[in-house]
Structure 1
Amino acid sequence: MELPVLELPDVQATKPKIPINLTRVGVTDVKKLVEIKRKDKRPIVLISVFDIFVDLPSDRKGANLSRNFEAIDEVLEKAINLPVYEIEELCSDVAKNLLTRHEYATQAEVRMKSEYVVKRESPVKKMECQEVVDIFAEAIAIRKEDDSIDVEKLIGSEVLGMTACPCAQEIMREKAANILKELEVEPHTISKFLQTMPMPTHNQRGRGIISVKTRGDVKVSLDEIIHIIENSMSSSIVELLKREDEAFVVETAHRNPKFVEDCVRTMARNVIDKFDYLPDDAVITIKQINEESIHRHNAFAERVAEFGDLKKEISQG
């Protein structure tokens, strides 16, 4: 005797007591192993954290959250056989897959963040070491009236570096000049010394952040973003340093003092130079956070602009 098949109720599809639309419903902190292919190099394996959302109409009590996990697993399983070269493309694929599975949704959003290991070497001794930077990607898929899907993608990174304060350095320069005068050092010798030896100042550990938001098939190099951030502060920093390397990093930073605002402006100029192929409507977000060493607060600067506006502004400067 066959037992009757019971149809389980779809509670999520029932009408809620308070029928309002919800902007985001989903899951956060989903950890997955992601393999990113590279041409002529070994693949990069990332332990990544995903946040996954869809919008929810007012006539549904809840979203079918298990479909979010199915969407990620399906795309990652596909990536085993088909090469994935950009993490923002991976997010885009998951977002589009979410709209296929959540037929009631009009928008899907996928965020991914991970730690990315890059190889570096110390500036003097040339010792190889590994540095860790934070990388992130996002994709927003929107279902249009004709049922086609429009996707916005974002790629970015946060990199640590070092900044030296120009203001305190100028104060120390003036103090050094006065002391040398009191010691009856010749004026031309004082001038030569101050030009040769950078003065002390207080330092900050800086965190530079760049993200680029685009549509369509525009490719943005993550490694280039990291390189721009590293070279926009007073000095890059390296995990493994001998004494000669330490002296080089400190002197380099003090020869290149920068305010938090200077770092953002330098990154902006370098983004325009390196990514000159970007469409004018690409959105560039640049941030710098300096963790102060002689204050309790941090210094912060930011610029958000469309690429075309930023390019025009820099060209007129």
Structure 2
Amino acid sequence: MQRIPRDLATRFAFDWRDEPLLRVQPGESFEIETFDASVGYFRTPADKAIPGKRPGFDRSPPLVNPIGGPVFVEGAEKGDTIVVHLEEITVDDYSWIAVGPKRGPLGESTRWPELSSDYTTRIFRHTPGPSGTTRDGTLHFNDKIRWPITPFVGTLGVCPDREVVTSLDGQGPWGGNLDARDMAVGNKIYLPVSHPGGLFYLGDVHASQGDTEFTGTAAETKSTVRLRLELLKGKRMPYLRIEKPDALIAVHADRPLEVAVETATFHLMDWLITEYGFTPTDAYCLVSTCPDFRINVYQMCKLAKLSYVAGAEVPKRYLVM
């Protein structure tokens, strides 16, 4: 099986000028070994998020959130769609979160001075599950609190049409740093292709995350991701989509949050109308009356130039028209 090793998964932009690290056939399984968002800097609680001590923070934007790629998909052309099938995510034996001055919405807090007066790094221990690996293991928040590891890919996408964007805050119809916890094993992610081969990148795996990634970091970790890329010829869509076994999710990134929510809902209506036989009136009324219609706020943190990421979701059982 082809693989991008971790020491090569250190690109920091979605750049069509990069030489592909892999060339794969549609449907071929391969692996990417990812760094955590800090490129391995955070190992113990003593490793603080002090910008002057962090490698790559002397650059603007800083060299953080590394991704592996590009991966060239044979036969992919502009106007096609790549479907990402995440087959397996195995995370490292620990993850981390870092907070402190000028980091996140409480980085200048006067109400809770400990959050803005000093840097704090927490290291979370991972223990294996029934499989003997961390794929179904446990994250230990502290000695009393723990939960199942729920890994997902925070940053993935193909190269956008014209621009080169960073892996730190690049977002768009083609993917990017979206931190959507539904980009997980068993779900399909649809990406519109703009360049020959698609030029796919992946990185920034989280062991777990709550809605919004409120502090700006979640349970950041290294990982090995096994995946395959399917090719849909001549199929184009307005924005990245996620399909779960039992639901459809249309995604959008924008500011303010209400624009992201509204536009994600428009994208979901378009999906229902163009592919499931809904009339515009049916789709419009469904998203307002269906008790199981949901808005997922995946990412709403104050970090760099990141937009807020929303996903409009409807269960598939309502798709029969």
TM-score for the superposition, normalised by structure 2: 0.25
Mark the structure with the bigger radius of gyration.
1
- The structure whose residues are more often helix, as a share, is 1
Q: Relative contact order, CA 8 A, sep 6+: which one is greater?
A: 2
